[in-house]
Structure 1
Amino acid sequence: MDARHSLVTGANRGLGLEFTRQLLARGDRVIATCRHPGKATALNALAGEHPGRLHVLPLDVSDPKSIAALVSELPLLDDGGDATLDLLVNCAGVLHSGERFGSVAAATLDDSFRTNAMGPLLLTQALAPRLADNARVANLSSVLGSIASVGRFGTPSYNLSKAAQNMATALLARALQPRGIVVLALHPGWARTDMGGDNATVAVADAVAGLLRVIDAAGTGDSGSFQDWRGEPLPW
């Protein structure tokens, strides 16, 4: 069986880095992106361990010009450049802490929407011609984007942008449905990343392993759904 081709955004740390590790471990060829590859020490070390199977490329998902540059660079890769993508993991995200009602800033909202909602939508749209029929698109969402689950006023720019990302997932699922491409909104649990903090309850490796099981098991009927890392449905 030929190796599958995957692309992961936000791959320099946390969930994105662990996705890259586990995809390589299962035999995939991986394109891993982040805003500053030169500073991505762990990711570059991983590339050294997997020569020819891991390509590290720059990408700022909040910048349409950066997305266009990535798409134009893919055919230039030594191997796999002309291959279709079997999996796209939209993992890059931003959370601004310390927001309080009465002082939510427009600039913070704008940055959150551009990174968390606009980025996955525009990147998936740009990469659609390279996605294989029956491919998978995994959008890393959060239960904090669930309107039905709101219990307090907290991290508003993050919550709003993740709710918008969930709508993007539903819309992309419809747009790509004729090609059998499955698009999922996935909550990784409260994972112990820089964003989740040390008190989080789910190990990063366990979260990603669970998410990959959910992605691999998903059928066309699951496209456009919102699930957690164990495959449990979440309310919109």
Structure 2
Amino acid sequence: MEPRHCLVTGANRGLGLEFTRQLLAGGARVVATARHPGRATALNALAGEHPGRLHVLPLDVAVARSRDELLRELPLVLGQRRLDLLLNNAGVLHGGERFGQVAEADLETSVRTNAIGPFLLVQALAGLLADGGIVANLSSEIGSIALRREFRTPSYAIGKAAQNMATVMLSQALQPRGIRVVALHPGWVRTDMGGERAPVLPAEAVAALLQVLERLGPTDSGLFLGPDGAVLPW
């Protein structure tokens, strides 16, 4: 992978941290965000190992004021450069939901964090994206309407389904600049969100998804892709 400039949200743990680690290993310069950077021990340690190539900035993607602050700070880090890759990884999942007991607040939080926030972040940062670059939204097959066969994590499923629509809308908006926007399903990954029973390790999932991104062509914008690059149904 040629050196490039990337932004990864939700980079303090799990897939976000692993994306940051592998992008750095590939020669990229990375801006990694976390809601509470001071508590992001592993991420800050990684920044110490890559001085000048990894910048850690605060971001709560669901909060307008936080997005605005990132928009003010990012040009100071990038200088005259533009982002070749914006990876919307930050998300939230409420486990243990049962029909009849799904909380309105959990639904609102999921849609705001998983769909509204990433959409508005891309809109805000559009001027800092490089023409021909990539916006990758970390989605899930749980957000696929066509694949749902059970009542499970409804707030997460609804949030990711909304995020998938946001992906398609953004792909249309950014198409004139050659910016490819895709939704990615990483598989069932062994993270805090995926749980200990998940069969796929974060390093394996991220390596597969980075290969998918490397292979993206100009006509692939607006697709929902699995870790093997196969197109998933909406």
Q: Does 1:194 align with 2:192?
A: yes
SS in 2 for 1:30: strand
Is 1:18 the counterpart of 2:18? The answer is: yes
8 Å contact from structure 1 (residues 5, 85) kept in 2: yes
* Conservation of the 8 A alpha-carbon contact between 2:2 and 2:26: no
Which among 146, 149, 153 is matched to residue 148 of structure 1?
Answer: 146
Distance 1:85 1:134 in 2: 10
Residue in 1 aligned with 2:62?
A: 62
Identity level (%): 67
* 5+ long unaligned stretches in structure 1: none
Aligned to 1:30: 30
Corresponding position of 1:45: 45
1:121 partner amino acid: F
Is the 2:3–2:26 contact (alpha carbons within 8 Å) kept by the matching residues of 1? no
Do the aligned residues in 2 keep the contact of 1:37 with 1:56 (CA within 8 Å)? yes
Q: Does 1:3 align with 2:6?
A: no
Q: Does the 8 A contact of 2:5 with 2:28 survive in 1?
A: yes
The aligned counterpart of 1:139 is 137
Separation in structure 2 between the aligned mates of residue 233 and residue 202 of structure 1, nearest angstrom: 20
1:2 Cα deviation after fit: 7.4
For 1:235, the equivalent position in structure 2 comes to: 233
2:12–2:37 CA contact under 8 A, matched in 1 = yes
- Relative to the length of structure 2, the TM-score reads 0.98
Q: Which residue is equivalent to 1:158?
A: 156
Which residue number corresponds to residue 117 of structure 1? Answer: 115
SS in 2 for 1:157: helix
Query: What corresponds to 1:104 in structure 2?
Result: 102
| Cα shift at 1:76 | 2.1
Which deviations, in whole Å up to 9, do the C-alpha atoms of 1:15-36 show, x marking residues without a partner? 0000000000000000000100
Q: 5+ residue gaps in structure 2?
A: none
Matched residue count: 234
Distance, in Å, in 1 between the alignment partners of 2:97 and 2:144 is 19
In structure 1, distance between residues paired with 2:143 and 2:2 = 37
User: What stretches of structure 1 move > 2 A for 4+ residues in a row?
Assistant: none
Q: State the partner residue of 1:81.
A: 79
Q: Tell me the SS of whatever aligns to 2:132.
A: strand
SS at match of 1:220: coil
Give distance in 1, aligned partners of 2:135 and 2:206: 15
